[in-house]
Amino acid sequence: MEDILKLIEIKRQRGHRSIQLLNQNFRKNEISKDNLLFESIIENGLKTDEEAALTVFNADINNRNYRNAKSKLRHKLFNHLYFLDYDKKEYTHYKKYEYESYHELHQARILMIEGATDLATKKLLYLLKLAKVCEVIDIVCQALVWLKEIYAMQGKLSLYNEVGLASGYYLKFQEAIRESEELYFSELVQINKSFSAQIRALNQIPGSIEQIREKSVEFNSTRIEILALKLELLYNKIINNFSRLNELCHQIEDWYFHRNDGEIRVDLDCNKIFLIRLEAYYNLKEYEEGMKFANQKENTFILGTDLWYDFYELRFIMAMHNDKFKLAAKYLRSTKTDKRFNSLHEMDRERWKIYRGYLIYFNDEKLVRWGFNFNHFLNYKLNYSKEYAGYSIAVLAIRFLYFLRDNDLKGLNLTLNELDIYNSSHLDKRSNYRNSVFIRLLNLVPEIDFNYESILKKGEIYFEKLKNAQIPQDKYAELEVYPFNRLWNEVLHILKTDKHYVHYKFYHLSPA
């Protein structure tokens, strides 16, 4: 009761400011303008000031009511940061503890300022236990400094000395974390800067991993070891060592996710590690093992979250590459029927449209076609930016298959013309190598008058290049919904078996 009485005394002496938060009590008729703006942004998917001002106030962005409502909304949303619900399942236990630690630190300082040193001491001692569990050492060091201040003011020498010894150790620990993070981030910036910078950094990354690991051993630190593991995951992903990547993910799962306190102590999202492992299975072409693993981890992903969509997208691609088209249809329906699908980024939705176009080619079911404008997919003019050149190649590649199968020479010629434009002006041969090779193969078809034997022979060298080149992991640079080398086999199969292409006179028909 003493704690409560002291807190009430502080409250009565200081009062409190009015905390402005969004009113989401819809039983009340009166709704403020900032609430109207908030609800309209959510319900209508507004993205720009112009859209918001026009929709809510029927005015332009200079309208005073709009500017005031926007300012109040921003202020209230910042206030909401103090009341985020970190108990939701999408947050790891580590993030919950980290969030709580910062709240406790803030409260402890306020209590010290208000002279409630007994309460502050209890708060700081609790905070030390909390912060040590998840190795938030910056908070540990600050808490120890404030405890020293309290014990110094109270003349408690033995406690002051005890805290002083602990401070010395944790300051060294803090410096080790700082040096490890500096190594990690200095490599990370090179990896993310550019392809050439990434290549230059490769030789020094193993040394940085080793240095970080030495510091983790010195302080028996999970937090520092996690930095080494994250860098090792990145390194093996860059050098396409997917077997090692798979092993690392398996080790992380065994070391940290199968222990009672694992999720508390580790700043890792298990679902992200599961996705990396699934990508490793995909790149190793171990589709059956990957799909089995995905089935085991399905319940760990929360429906409608970004990671859930990534998970289902990878499952879809893996099913397509494994010729499990019925299963791919199931995954497509799961994503399309999720209530959050229409709020995804436009290009994410566009990618699923491309996936659907491929699936219809291999599995033309009523449920897959339902609600899909197939004619539009075959004929709409592509206007993707250079960043999304892989989308254009993917669309044109499957269009080529449709037109070839349907003996549509006009559609074939138009598609090849568009492919040539992308091949010459949009593609970097270093990072879009498979796209360039596949376009060259497709061009052989009309060049050699649809002659199966000649095309097969002339295309051998390019086909070998396709088989030997790694499918890139960037789903924007080269979007292979179905492997290009197997699409080429489909082209050859059509040329060999379709009577229109077998008959010589067909080659000399002019396009309609």
What is the distance between the alpha carbons of residues 229 and 212, in angstroms, rounded to a whole number? 10
pLDDT digits (tens, 9 = 90+) for 182-235: 999 999 999 988 878 888 889 999 999 999 999 999 999 999 999 999 999 999
Radius of gyration, alpha carbons of the chain: 30
Tell me the percentage of the chain whose pLDDT exceeds 70. Answer: 86
Q: Where are the alpha helices (DSSP H) in 219-324?
A: 222-238, 242-252, 262-265, 270-283, 287-297, 306-321
pLDDT-based confidence at 364, cuts 50/70/90?
A: confident
What is the distance between the alpha carbons of residues 295 and 107, in angstroms, rounded to a whole number? 44
**Bigger pLDDT: 19 or 366?**
366
- The reported pLDDT for the residue numbered 125 is 93
Residues 63-91 have a mean pLDDT of 76
Q: Which two tokens stand for residue 301?
A: 């992903």
Residues 251-269 have a mean pLDDT of 75
For 255-264, 315-324, 357-366, which range has the lowest pLDDT when averaged over its residues? 255-264
- Every domain range in the chain assigned CATH 1.25.40.10: 270-369
Which string of DSSP letters, residue by residue, matches 440-481?
HHHHHHHHTTT-HHHHHHHTHHHHHHHHHSPPPS-TTT---S
Residues 263 and 257: beta-carbon distance below 8 Å: yes
What is the distance between the alpha carbons of residues 222 and 256, in angstroms, rounded to a whole number? 9
pLDDT-based confidence at 27, cuts 50/70/90?
A: very low
pTM higher than 0.75, yes or no? yes
> Could you give the C-alpha distances from 311 to 196, 270, 290, 351, in angstroms and in order?
30, 13, 12, 15
pLDDT-based confidence at 140, cuts 50/70/90?
A: very high
Indicate whether 367 pLDDT > 50. Answer: yes
First to last CA, the chain: 91
**Any idea which fold 270-369 has?**
1.25.40
Amino acid symbol at 440 = R
- The reported pLDDT for the residue numbered 450 is 87
Mean pLDDT, the chain, whole residue set: 84
Residues 272-301 have a mean pLDDT of 94
**Bigger pLDDT: 439 or 20?**
439
pLDDT-based confidence at 473, cuts 50/70/90?
A: low
Q: How many helices (H) and strands (E) does the chain have?
A: 27, 0
pLDDT-based confidence at 263, cuts 50/70/90?
A: low
